[in-house]
């Protein structure tokens, strides 16, 4: 049994293996009822559209079943049940548990109590490994990931998608440009870790300093729900926005990605440029999660 908790647990060959499998699923090279006798429990203790629905879609496409908790209010979590107890119970119902939780470390904790595989679908400001796989998958469809320049723009302090992706990219010799408003910079501990892994990391304040050098620009929203108070959110709200005007003289193959939802940081007019790839990226969540579910429930 294996859990999918953090990108830190993966070597490059594990990521490449999963991406290759995802490509096969995408090309329709699989037995349609492969997970016929399997059931996944989707335990979402935090809002989600894409992640939850693409995991459910992936199960359905493979002939599997799923059960889900979609809100804290509708579950016994409001009665004070511990995560450990919920996980022990769900282990008796399902063949895998997909967990989204507001607390960093929740998925790791869950994996200690689960007797079935746990997939981390986002733990607070921690990690979001299945998102990273679909991010890598989307890049890889357009260009080899090795040695490219990637800009991570936005809330790099609380953004778990940025944390996971940066760690994964460090396995591909990527040069990382971090671009964050003041106070939302990538935590120093992560920058240190990336550099220890041999990654070149360049920190910026303004996207225009580096936009023309990038192969991929990965934009993220400000993670308002993780701010300690609303004043600190309003200090940084609307501090960056990608518009078509900014995209003059960029590399021809520049790819703009966003894990979505967006909240104003990409002008919808950008959607009509050839650089916008975020809807395609969201779509890639399905084959990637098919590959993941298949691997953990073998
Ligand atoms: C992201 C998340 O939940 O971390 N969404 C997603 O899974 N696609 C990004 C976000 O909420 O900003």
What are the pocket residues of ligand 1 if the criterion is a CB atom closer than 6 Å to any ligand atom? 50-51, 122, 128, 131, 160-161, 220-221, 259-260
In whole angstroms, give the CA distance from residue 222 to residue 8: 24
Please state the atom number of ligand 1 nearest to the C-alpha of residue 282. 8
Which of 103, 107, 161 to probe ligand 1 with, by most ligand atoms within 8 A of CB?
A: 161
46 forms beta bridges with none
Which residues 6+ apart lie within 8 Å of 56 measured at CB?
A: 42, 66, 68
* Cβ–Cβ < 8 Å for 139, 37: no
* Cβ–Cβ < 8 Å for 59, 66: yes
Distances (CA, A) of 95 to 2, 22, 25, 137: 12, 20, 21, 26
State residue 1's pLDDT score.
Answer: 58
Cα-to-centroid distance, 171 and ligand 1 (Å): 22
Domains defined along the chain, listed by start: 7-126+284-296 (3.40.50.1370), 129-282 (3.40.50.1370)
Cα-to-centroid distance, 254 and ligand 1 (Å): 22
State residue 78's pLDDT score.
Answer: 77
State residue 79's pLDDT score.
Answer: 81
Please state the atom number of ligand 1 nearest to the C-alpha of residue 161. 4
3 is catalytic: no
79 is catalytic: yes
Which of 100, 102, 119, 128 to probe ligand 1 with, by most ligand atoms within 8 A of CB?
A: 128
Q: What is the pLDDT along the chain (298 residues), one digit of tens a residue?
A: 589 999 999 999 999 999 999 999 999 999 989 999 999 999 999 989 999 999 999 999 999 999 998 777 777 777 888 999 999 999 999 999 999 999 999 999 999 999 999 999 999 999 999 999 999 999 999 999 999 999 999 999 999 999 999 999 999 999 999 999 999 999 999 999 999 999 999 999 999 999 999 999 999 999 999 998 888 888 888 889 999 999 999 999 999 999 999 999 999 999 999 999 999 999 999 999 999 999 999 8
128 is catalytic: yes
161 is catalytic: no
Please state the atom number of ligand 1 nearest to the C-alpha of residue 223. 12
Query: Which tokens go with 108?
Result: 């790791």
Cα-to-centroid distance, 9 and ligand 1 (Å): 21
Phi-psi region of 70 (alpha: psi -120 to 50; beta: other; left: phi over 0): alpha
State residue 254's pLDDT score.
Answer: 98
Please state the atom number of ligand 1 nearest to the C-alpha of residue 131. 7
101 is catalytic: no
Distances (CA, A) of 43 to 20, 89, 94, 286: 27, 12, 11, 18
């Amino acid at each position: 049994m294996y859990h999918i908790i953090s990108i830190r647990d993966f070597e490059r060959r594990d990521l490449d293996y999963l991406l290759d499998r995802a490509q096969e699923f995408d090309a329709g090279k699989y037995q349609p009822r492969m997970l016929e006798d399997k059931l996944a429990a989707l335990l979402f203790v935090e809002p989600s559209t894409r992640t939850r629905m693409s995991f459910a879609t992936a199960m359905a496409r493979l002939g599997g079943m799923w059960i889900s908790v979609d809100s804290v209010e509708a579950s016994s979590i409001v009665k004070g049940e511990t995560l450990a107890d919920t996980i022990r119970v769900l282990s008796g119902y399902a063949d895998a548990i997909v967990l989204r939780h507001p607390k960093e470390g929740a998925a790791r904790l869950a994996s200690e109590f689960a007797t079935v595989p746990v997939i981390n679908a986002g733990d607070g400001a921690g990690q979001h490994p299945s998102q990273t796989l679909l991010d890598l998958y989307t890049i890889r469809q357009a260009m080899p990931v090795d040695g490219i320049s990637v800009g991570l723009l936005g809330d790099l302090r609380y953004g778990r998608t940025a944390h996971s992706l940066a760690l994964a990219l460090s396995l591909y010799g990527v040069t990382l440009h971090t671009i964050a408003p003041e106070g939302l910079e990538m935590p120093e501990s992560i920058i240190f870790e990336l550099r220890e892994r041999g990654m070149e990391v360049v920190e910026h304040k303004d996207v225009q300093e580096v936009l023309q050098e990038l192969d991929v620009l990965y934009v993220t929203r400000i993670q308002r729900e993780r701010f300690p108070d609303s004043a600190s959110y309003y200090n940084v709200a609307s501090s960056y926005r990608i518009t078509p005007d900014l995209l003059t003289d960029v590399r021809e193959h520049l790819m703009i990605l966003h894990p979505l939802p967006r909240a104003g940081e990409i002008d919808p007019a950008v959607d009509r440029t050839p650089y916008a790839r975020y809807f395609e990226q969201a779509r890639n969540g399905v084959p990637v999660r098919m590959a993941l579910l298949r691997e953990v429930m073998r």
